Structure 1
Amino acid sequence: MYYGNVVTVISSDKEKSKLIAENLGKLHENEKIQIYYRKKENYIRSVLIPRDYPEKILDAAEAITLSSYCIFYLPTTPSWIDGEIALLISANNCKGEIISDLPAENIKKLFKGLPIENFPVVNSPSDFEEKEKDKGIIYIDKAFVVKGVGVVVTGFSYTTVKVHDKLKAIPIGKDVEIKSIQVLDEDQEEVEPGIRIGFALRNVKEDEMKDTFLLIKNEIKISKTIKGKIFTFPWSTINDQGNYHFVSNGVSVMGKLKMIDNATVEISLNDEIPISERFLVIDVNAKQGKPRIVGYITPI
């Protein structure tokens, strides 16, 4: 049975990101988020690169919130993009490392006050095996019909899934059954967390799945209204009753943010989503000189 982990490689230098990813795996999918794989016995590492970043901040936020580990290449002459990447990784609170020719003490000084200041500084990416945490969800990025098979979805597992399991499709709220499972074109009876999957589904039509972004287990709580503590970066601004993108588990949902007090907010979302450990707050229309990464919310 396969298990694995998901890693994002990100930098203002796109060519360096590509070289690092090639060191960790082989390119298999060249979409808006490129996916590299490396398989070793039952372990599979998936490496993500948000191809259109910095132009598309949400692509980067979605990739990083899918990942438990981030590899950040920092050039010797950092730009505003590298500062934004540092905020993005820090907001997501994932583990990681910095690859750079800059001295470690310079990097620590540059990112002082951010969790990323404690990342190890290395010359080449670490080769390691980990397993994603079981969150009770499966992230979905595509849905299509295969002749003779039916509706098929692809994505990443963040829970153990078996053939014939019944899951709920979000946001449509419909129960679907796992008809079959494929990993790297091989049929499987079961997968563990951290794996790029293809599921054939029963009890659903293609048009019902086209806007689906998650499959979840029945015990997972979902809501359109979430109350939580907000952390904002010192140089960002937050607007009461403002509209923002809230990102978790690879999913970006628009919503309105209401300030309850200086540290507490309530967000009203356009779609029901699982209540995650934290939500990144993204302002895609931030004014020049202000970061698009506003901060994050931890539900209470």
Structure 2
Amino acid sequence: MSVTGNVSFTYGQGLAGLLGKKGTSSDITLYNTKLGDSVLTFIEATGFPEKIQPLISAINISDQALVRIDSLDGNLAETIMALDHMGMEKGFLIYGKDVREDQVAPLIEDTVIQGYEVLEEQPMVLKEKLAGLVPDPAGDPVVQVDHSFQVKGVGTVALGVVKSGTVKKYDVLDAVPGDVKVPVKSIQVHDTDVPEAVAGVRVGLALKDAKPDDIPRGTILTTGNELRLIKEGQADASLSKYAGKALEADDIIMVNSMLNYTPARIASGSLDPGKTGKIVFELEKEVPTISGNLCLMDPGQKPPRILGHLKI
């Protein structure tokens, strides 16, 4: 029987460290633990709020969210906007000792966070609740790579999360974007060699015929046809009511999908803050998507940097 697991985005200083052992760390930091047969991964956006991309990347990787609200500030506001526009419907809320539920209610009204279950900060209870989510293993294998590097005596190793299906030892996977085929030499889950890994599990894949530069962050490893590459088209757009200005033709913004970021031009159409409508967009490079949901952002330093989303 395959090991199950899931990945949780965590917001709240030190929260992930209460739940797991620190692992890979860059602009995002991952913590891991095992509860019975379930391997749980927790992600902190350590490069946020200096940059908005780590927040988006951490949510990209995750299956659910655990948000502890200790103060009502701009960082919380951007986190709420990101979770909402990225459609993170599964999640849990913890209220810090100096924050009341009635203070938070107006901030999360009409967002996905409004539906999050409220919990107390008890580490074992939190882990048991988070372990309750078991992603559906159906479909073709899709692994979203967040780190890759060379290991002496092993070769190229890719770290990532199985987003759908089951990845198996000796599978030959397509690396997308790109045209590289990579055989899987071995699979590790929680520092243990396994023959396969299912959706929701964080893995280390030892790969053949590939260099780390061939599979940077944002690479999708798959054997199937569920993945789409998007470069241009028409989309249903939603612009946040907190966006600083309307979205208009010839505006240049940043788009995210599955750990891929690229500039985008609004080819036609316009949208006022708080509104939805049709726009035509052009991306500087192709980005992969399964859900068809693209997050819109302003990569500058001044909040709000989450602008809205496109639905292809």
TM-score bracket for this pair, using the shorter chain length: 0.7 to 0.9
- Cα contact 1:3–1:194 (8 A) shared by 2: yes
| Matched AA of 1:174 | V
| Distance verdict in 2 for CA 1:145–1:115, change over 3 Å | closer
Q: Which amino acid aligns with 2:62?
A: S
Counterparts of 2:218 and 2:256 in 1: how far apart (Å)? 15
Pick from 96, 104, 115 the counterpart of residue 107 of structure 1.
Answer: 104
SS of residue matched to 1:82: helix
1:227 & 1:41 partners in 2: Cα distance?
46
In structure 1, what is the Cα distance between the partners aligned to 2:202 and 2:217?
19
Q: What letter corresponds to residue 6 of structure 2 in structure 1?
A: N
Deviating beyond 4 angstroms after TM superposition, the runs of 4 or more aligned structure 1 residues are: 133-136
- Larger mean CA deviation between 241-250 and 80-89 belongs to 241-250
The AA in structure 2 aligned to 1:105 is D
Matches within 5 A, 1:189-268: 189-210=195-216, 213-219=219-225, 220-236=227-243, 237=245, 238-260=247-269, 262=271, 263-268=277-282
Under a length normalisation based on structure 2, what TM-score does the superposition of the two structures give? 0.84
CA contact under 8 A between 2:7 and 2:202: conserved in structure 1?
no
Q: Distance in 1 between matches of 2:152 and 2:262?
A: 32
CA deviation after TM superposition for structure 1 residue 206, in Å = 4.0
Please say if residues 258 and 289 of structure 2, whose CA atoms lie closer than 8 Å, have aligned partners that are also in contact: no
Q: What SS does structure 2 have at the residue aligned with 1:84?
A: helix
Gap change, CA 1:255 and 1:167, over 3 Å in 2: farther
The equivalent of 2:150 in structure 1 is: 145
CA distance in 1, matches of 2:68, 2:304: 20
Deviation at 1:222, TM superposition (A): 2.0
Matched position secondary structure for 2:54: helix
Which of 157, 161, 168 is the matching residue for 1:156? 161
Number of aligned residue pairs: give it: 290
Distance in 2 (CA, whole Å) between partners of 1:92 and 1:133 is 20
Q: CA shift at 1:154, angstroms?
A: 1.4
Residues 137 and 265 of structure 1: CA distance in aligned 2, closer, same or farther (over 3 Å): farther
User: Bigger CA drift: 129-138 or 55-64?
Assistant: 129-138
> For residues 79-138 of structure 1, what are the alpha-carbon distances to aligned partners after superposition, in whole Å with 9 as ceiling and x for unaligned?
122111111111122121221143323321233232323323333263321223557421
Which residue number in structure 2 is paired with residue 122 of structure 1? 119
Partner of 2:62: 67
Q: Is the Cα contact below 8 Å between 1:6 and 1:132 reproduced in 2? A: no
Structure 2 CA distance for partners of 1:86 and 1:188, relative to 1, 3 Å: same
Q: Which residue of 2 aligns with 1:29?
A: 24
Q: Which amino acid aligns with 2:101?
A: A
- 1:293 aligns with 306
CA distance in 1, matches of 2:285, 2:106: 40
- Which of 284, 289, 296 in structure 2 is aligned with 1:281? 296
8 Å Cα contact 1:170/1:272 also seen in 2: no
The Cα shift of 1:8 comes to: 0.9
What SS does the aligned partner of 2:57 have? helix
What TM-score comes out, normalization by structure 1 length?
0.87
Change in Cα spacing, 1:211 to 1:51, as seen in structure 2 (3 Å) is closer
Residue 274 of structure 2 corresponds to which residue in structure 1? none
Corresponding letter in the other structure for 1:282: M
**1:92 to 2:86 alignment:** yes
The residue type paired with residue 176 of structure 1 is V
Distance 2:286 2:234 in 1: 14
CA distance in 1, matches of 2:21, 2:297: 31
Contact 1:232–1:294 (CA<8 Å) still a contact in 2? yes
Change (3 A) 1:90 1:154: same
The SS at the match of 2:84 is: helix
| SS class of match (1:81) | helix
1:218-239: per-residue Cα shift (whole Å, max 9, x none)? Answer: 3123232243211111121324
**CA 107–200 in structure 1, closer or farther in 2 if over 3 Å, else same:** same
| Cα RMSD after superposing both structures | 2.3
Q: Specify whether residues 143 and 99 from structure 1 end up closer, same or farther in structure 2 by C-alpha distance, changes over 3 A only.
A: same
